[in-house]
């Protein structure tokens, strides 16, 4: 299958990879192209920005969470109909799980047979940039490093000397630059960029970024490089859930400014397996959608909307009531926080939540967890069975406090070599966890969720 594609990587986080990716997306769209965005790694925020500028939903591809067959299936299915696919990398080009390549931008580039354009922050050097690019080129010769874009260029001479050194020493073309102090700053907070659903960057910022890219970066050459991508061949064992051909269950999906961290492919998988997804807002709606057979509450920023969530007492009571009736409810991270007794804000103020679990979610003054985890299921639940294993990731600033003695945990979680802890609170048909799952990592978790919905539907 011929899918023109390009990956924007970087030497390290903070090099300007997201800014340049967004600028290129905007410029390619201005050219009239259909652009399909992707994001390497377990990230919710960058894809929301991609989706806002491309009018196509950005998808996550992660070579630690997903097997290669799943990556190829997800990529080729979503790239159909696009003139070009643009993949934003994660961290530095070769940074992956611990000291391996898994989860890295480089590993994803090899799986997809995609050319890589390296974004390099050249603010503090010129000729030394060639040594860095040469190192990236030689580190793994199976990675097709096809171009360089320089960020934070201070003057025409700075660009000329840096470009000349790189091209002489590496024979890799420099495709352009962004100038230093361009006055473009995307809004950020404690988990990263402010979601585009919550606060869309102003059009002036987008226009300025697009104009800078159009002026200083060779877009035509990027397009030519993207067309040199290797052909993709689907593995016969590739992941692809089989659809049932009809709607079997209705799942309520919490979607608003407080809850918007979802992998789109998770939602698509549920639909393929027979779910009709009905959105509702825990912030604004006074009741849950009628006729539902399950509920899915994703992550987000409930801590920033605690007062509004708490004030919507009718919704909190509705969620609690459905939980008592045995409705299957799956909640991740922010969703977990909504299901506990109360959220304690950064300022120490308490806000009542749904109260399904008798404990508090306390906002800390520093990040509590970040990175990949491995889960072993210790107790049967609505998604999995004892003995099942799945890879996941976690990223949160809150922690649970005052847990009652009767709270049970479904998961044994291993993070790194030494840290082991419990997660996955279970009560009746409710499962709430700090872990973020991608169903392509273990399709049976999605299938089991649908089975739980069907059981509830038959018994209610």
As a whole number of angstroms, the distance between CA 45 and CA 14 comes to 15
**Contact yes or no for 121/14 (Cβ under 8 A):** yes
Burial of 89 (0-12, 13-18, 19+ CB in 10 A): buried
> Domain 249-459: which CATH class?
alpha beta
Model confidence over 35-77: pLDDT tens digits? 999 999 998 889 999 999 999 999 999 999 999 999 999 999 9
Reading the block at residue 74, the tokens are: 């997800």
CA separation for the pair 47, 43 (Å, rounded): 7
Contact indicator for 75, 3 with CB cutoff of 8 Å: yes
Tell me, what's the pLDDT at 193? Answer: 45
For residues 435 and 415, is the Cβ–Cβ distance under 8 A?
Answer: no
Closest CA to 275 of 293, 289, 259, 256: 293
329: helix, strand or coil: strand
Cβ(222)–Cβ(175) below 8 Å: yes
Report domain extents, the chain.
5-226, 249-459
For 185, residues 6+ apart whose C-beta sits below 8 A from its C-beta are: none
For residue 205, what pLDDT is reported? 85
The ranges of the chain with pLDDT < 70 are 1, 182-202, 233-240, 243-245
* The dihedral sign for the CA sequence 429, 432, 433, 438: positive
Assess contact for 247 and 275: CB atoms under 8 A. Answer: yes
Half-sphere exposure in the Cβ direction for 304 (13 Å, CA): 14
Cα dist from 396 to 218, 274, 306, 332, whole Å: 39, 31, 16, 11
Give the CATH number of domain 5-226; options: 3.90.105.10, 3.20.20.70, 3.20.20.10, 3.40.50.300: 3.40.50.300
Of 387, 386, 310, nearest in space to 343 by CA: 310
Sheet holding 340-344, edge to edge: 350-352, 340-344, 357-363, 398-401
Closest to 48 in 3D by CA, of 155, 192, 165: 192
Copy the structure tokens of residue 137: 């080129």
Strand order from edge to edge, sheet including 116-121: 59-61, 35-40, 84-88, 5-10, 116-121, 145-153, 174-179
**Active-site annotation holder among 54, 333, 359, 453:** 333
Q: Do the two domains 5-226 and 249-459 of this chain adopt the same fold?
A: yes
H or E stretch at 270: helix 264-272
Query: Phi/psi at 193 (nearest 5 deg)?
Result: -65, 145
Question: Is 333 tagged catalytic?
Answer: yes
For 9-40, letters b (16+ CB in 10 Å) and e give: bbbeeebbbbbbbbbbbbbbbeeebebbbbbb
- What is the reported pLDDT for 229? 81
pLDDT at 246: 83
């Amino acid at each position: 299958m011929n899918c023109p594609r390009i990956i924007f990587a970087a030497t390290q986080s903070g090099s300007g990879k997201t800014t340049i990716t967004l600028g290129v997306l905007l410029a390619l769209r201005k050219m009239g192209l259909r652009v399909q965005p992707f994001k390497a790694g377990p990230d919710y925020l960058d894809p929301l920005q991609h989706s806002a500028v491309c009018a196509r939903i950005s998808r996550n591809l992660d070579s630690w969470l997903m097997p290669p067959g799943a990556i190829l299936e997800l990529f080729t299915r979503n790239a159909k109909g696009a003139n070009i696919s643009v993949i934003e990398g994660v961290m530095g080009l070769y940074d992956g799980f611990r000291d391996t390549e898994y989860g890295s931008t480089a590993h994803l580039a090899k799986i997809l047979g995609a050319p890589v354009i390296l974004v390099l922050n050249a603010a503090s050097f010129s000729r030394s940039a060639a040594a860095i690019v040469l190192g990236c080129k030689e580190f793994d010769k199976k990675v097709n490093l096809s171009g360089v874009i320089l960020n934070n260029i201070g003057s025409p001479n700075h660009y000329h000397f840096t470009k000349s050194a790189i091209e002489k020493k590496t024979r890799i073309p420099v495709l352009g630059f962004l100038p230093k102090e361009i006055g473009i700053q995307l809004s950020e907070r404690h988990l990263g960029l402010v979601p585009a659903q919550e606060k869309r960057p102003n059009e002036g910022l987008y226009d300025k970024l697009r104009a800078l890219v159009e002026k200083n970066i060779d877009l035509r050459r990027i397009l030519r490089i993207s067309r040199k991508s290797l052909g993709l061949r689907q593995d016969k064992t590739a992941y692809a859930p089989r659809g049932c051909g009809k709607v079997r269950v209705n799942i309520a999906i919490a979607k608003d400014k407080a809850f918007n961290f979802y992998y789109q492919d998770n939602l698509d998988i549920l639909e393929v397996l027979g779910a009709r997804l009905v959105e509702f807002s825990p912030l604004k709606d006074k009741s849950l959608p009628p006729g539902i057979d399950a509920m899915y509450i994703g992550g987000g920023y409930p801590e920033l909307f605690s007062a509004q969530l708490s004030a919507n007492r009718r919704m909190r009571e509705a969620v609690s009531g459905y939980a008592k009736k045995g409705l299957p409810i799956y909640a991740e991270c922010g969703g977990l926080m909504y299901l506990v007794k109360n959220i304690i804000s950064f300022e120490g103020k308490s806000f009542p939540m749904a109260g399904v679990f008798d404990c508090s979610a306390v906002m800390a003054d520093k990040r509590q967890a970040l990175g990949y985890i491995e889960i072993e299921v210790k107790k049967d639940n609505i998604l999995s069975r004892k003995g099942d294993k799945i890879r996941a990731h976690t990223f949160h600033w809150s922690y649970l406090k005052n847990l009652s003695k009767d709270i049970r945990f479904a998961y044994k979680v291993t993070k790194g070599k030494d840290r082991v802890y419990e997660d996955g609170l279970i009560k009746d048909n409710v499962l709430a966890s700090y872990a973020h799952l991608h169903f392509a990592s273990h399709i049976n978790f999605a299938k089991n969720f649908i089975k739980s919905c069907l059981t509830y539907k038959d018994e209610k």
